[in-house]
Amino acid sequence: MTIAGFDPSGDAGIIADIRTIEALGCTAVAAITSITFQNTRVYAGALHQNAPSVRAQVEAIATEHEIAALKIGMLPTAEIVREVARLIQEFHLPKPVIDPVMESTSGGKLMDDGAYELLVTELLPRSCVITPNIPEAEKFAGLNILDEDSMRQAVARIRELGARAVLIKGGHLKQESGVKRQKPEEEKRQAVDVLDDEGEVTVFRDDWIDARNVRGTGCMLSSAIACGLARGEALKSAVATAKQFVTRTIHNSQFKIKTTRL
């Protein structure tokens, strides 16, 4: 199940979640928390759902289906965060993979301050893993993230807030920040993600892909992790498999963009 916002462009949000879940051989069910008005360039606003609307959607699913894994994306208001926490407890839903969506790529604020506070207190302790990008992780951890060392500090701090596991996605690290490389002769920029699973830290390194035309990678990654967990994979394995899926998707998207322009 994915509980997330709707992006009419289809690049991110619940459409990207469902596309990912189905591509990985799982069956998707969904509850919408907000209908946003945006495309790849402009965010024009949103119509947020209320707690009864979110509850009715989840109840309709949870009373009929056994939920194997849960991914949570955009939670725009404190009312919705509180209701989702209640629903997880009431219906004994799996510990969620939380993608803490705070701002859209096109510049819109997607989470109220009150919703953020409740996310920390009510949902982090109930989560399986939380997957912030660099700006989101900086907010949670209260520090500037410039390199792999500060990513390691940040995952530890976020776990202290109550999360069992934290995966910080390094895609927003500035190239000039000097992410440490394993070998001095390496010239390619690397994408570095850091996972802290109950104190066990794993660093994932991949070649950087300049994917300027690709949105929704965080939605895809968190949904793919949930699919791995649904299949019974351990978290570390689920993250590795999810990253491979996202990398393939980015490569395919870049190819489609190039061929479209011919």
What's the whole-number average pLDDT of the chain? 89
Residue 261 placed within a domain: no
* DSSP 3-state of 161: coil
Residue 215 placed within a domain: yes
Q: What is the pLDDT of residues 125-150, one digit of tens each?
A: 999 999 999 999 999 999 999 999 99
262 or 181, which is more confident? 181
The residue type of 94 is P
Residue 184 placed within a domain: yes
CA distance 118 to 13: 21
User: Containing domain of residue 196, as a range?
Assistant: 2-255
Say whether pLDDT at 19 is over 90.
yes
Q: Taking the alpha carbons of 93, 98, 102, 106 in that order, is the dihedral positive or negative?
A: negative
Residue 262 placed within a domain: no
Instruction: Give pLDDT, residue 1.
Output: 98
Q: What is the pLDDT of residues 180-224, one digit of tens each?
A: 444 444 456 678 999 999 999 999 988 777 666 667 899 999 999
Residue 64 placed within a domain: yes
Q: What is the CATH number of the domain that holds 130?
A: 3.40.1190.20
Instruction: Give pLDDT, residue 108.
Output: 77
Percentage, residues of the chain above pLDDT 70: 87
Residue 260 placed within a domain: no
Q: What is the pLDDT of residues 156-183, one digit of tens each?
A: 999 999 999 999 998 767 654 444 444 4
CA distance 7 to 128: 25
Q: How far is CA 146 from the centre of its chain?
A: 20
**Which whole number is the average pLDDT over 74-94?**
98
- Domains in the chain, number: 1
Instruction: Give pLDDT, residue 173.
Output: 72
Residue 197 placed within a domain: yes
> In what side-by-side order are the strands of the sheet with 200-207?
43-48, 30-38, 2-6, 71-72, 97-98, 129-130, 165-168, 190-197, 200-207
Residue 29 placed within a domain: yes
* DSSP 3-state of 193: strand
Percentage, residues of the chain above pLDDT 90: 75
DSSP H or E segment with residue 9 = none
Q: Tokens for 85?
A: 């926490």
- Strands 30-38, 97-98: pairing is unpaired
**Which whole number is the average pLDDT over 229-235?**
97
Closest listed residue to residue 76, CA positions, set 3, 13, 138, 5: 5
171 or 98, which is more confident? 98
